[in-house]
Amino acid sequence: MGAFAGRIAIGIRNFTDGTSNTVAFAENLIGDNNTAGRNSAEFYNCVAWPGAGSGNGSGSGMVMPDPTGITNFKSYLSTCRGAQKSNTGQQNSRGQFWSSCRFGQGVCFSMIQTPNTLEPDCQNTNDNGTITARSRHPGGINTLFADGSVKFIKDSVNQTTWWALGTKAGGEVVSADAY
């Protein structure tokens, strides 16, 4: 689990990976409220998560290093690409409610996809989805780590390294030269 989660109190003591190894916030684009175009800030709504035994999974089967999670992730990306291709459920209100931390429409993002990926962003509810950290900077994004430091993370960061930076207690050791 990342630095924050809904309805759970988290303290510094919970950052056993170290606050200098955990991303708290990252840049995110703001939507233009124009469904006619694509500017990398749009996302596609009502794309159900696979797994969890139903067509409306909660993402609980999305533990990334887990082989089942990887399979579910690939399935989800395929469904998300289909929504993008058909322009089904396109939302351009990203960042509109920045203070509420609504997924997609707030400041929250997931660490599932690497920064500025070319894959589309999708969500099923205001609690889950692949809302990716994105910026207009060439080559990467600025991130705020839990220790208060700001670091530029390259778009080319290794997927496993990105996932490790997104956990506060995953037991991963990440060297600063890995990103």
Report the candidate in 49, 106, 53 with the shortest Cα–Cα distance to residue 77. Answer: 49
Q: Are 69 and 57 a contacting pair, CB within 8 Å?
A: no
Those residues whose C-beta lies under 8 Å from the C-beta of residue 67, and which sit 6 or more positions away, are none
- For 160-165, the CB contacts below 8 A with 24+ separation are 160/65, 162/111, 162/114, 162/115, 163/64, 163/65, 163/111, 163/112, 164/17, 164/21, 165/21, 165/22, 165/23, 165/111
Token pair in block for residue 144: 């705020």
pLDDT digits (tens, 9 = 90+) for 119-175: 988 887 656 678 889 999 999 999 999 999 999 999 999 988 998 999 898 898 899
pLDDT digits (tens, 9 = 90+) for 69-84: 777 788 888 888 998 8
pTM of this structure: 0.78
pLDDT of the residue at 147 = 96
